[in-house]
Amino acid sequence: MTYGGHFDPENKTIRLKQLEREMNEPNFWNDKRHSEAVIAEFNNLKSQLDQVKELKEQIEFYQEALNQEADSLEIYNWANSEAPKIKDALEKLALFLLLNGEYDSHDAVLEIHAGAGGTEACDWANMLYRMYARWAEKKGYKLEVTFEQPGTEVGIKSIAVIVKGHNAFGYLQGEKGIHRLVRISPFDSNARRHTSFAAVEVSPVIDDDIAIDIDEKDLRIDVYRSTGAGGQGVNTTDSAVRITHLPTKIVVTCQNERSQLQNKEKCMQILKSKLYELEKSNKEAELNKLKGEQKEINFGSQIRSYIMCPYTLVKDHRTEAEDVNVNKVLDGDIDKFINEYLKGK
Q: DSSP per residue over 310-339, as a string?
A: SS-EEEETTT--EES-HHHHHTT--HHHHH
CB 295: neighbour CB atoms within 10 A?
8
Can you give the pTM of this predicted structure? Answer: 0.70
Indicate the fold that domain 5-98 takes in CATH. Methane Monooxygenase Hydroxylase; Chain G, domain 1 (1.20.58)
Q: Per residue of the chain (345 residues), what is the pLDDT tens digit?
A: 455 555 667 888 898 999 999 999 999 998 887 887 788 788 878 888 888 888 888 888 888 888 887 777 887 788 788 888 888 888 777 777 778 787 888 899 999 999 977 899 999 999 999 999 999 999 999 999 999 999 888 999 999 999 998 889 999 999 999 999 999 988 887 878 889 999 999 988 876 555 677 888 999 999 987 665 444 444 456 788 999 999 999 999 998 887 888 899 889 888 988 888 788 777 666 645 544 443 443 455 789 999 999 999 999 999 999 999 999 999 999 999 999 999 887
Domains 5-98 and 108-291+299-344 share a fold: no
CA angle, 187 then 330 then 109, to 5°: 105
Alpha-carbon gap, residue 100 to 97, rounded angstroms: 7
- Give the distance, in angstroms, between the CA of residue 255 and the centroid of all CA atoms in the same chain: 22
- 226 phi and psi angles, rounded to 5 deg: -65, 140
Check the CA dihedral 26-27-30-31 and report its sign.
negative
Indicate the fold that domain 108-291+299-344 takes in CATH. Alpha-Beta Plaits (3.30.70)
Q: DSSP per residue over 228-271, as a string?
A: -GGG-BS-SS--EEEEEETTTTEEEEE--SSSHHHHHHHHHHHH
Indicate the domain borders of the chain.
Answer: 5-98, 108-291+299-344
Alpha-carbon gap, residue 252 to 241, rounded angstroms: 8
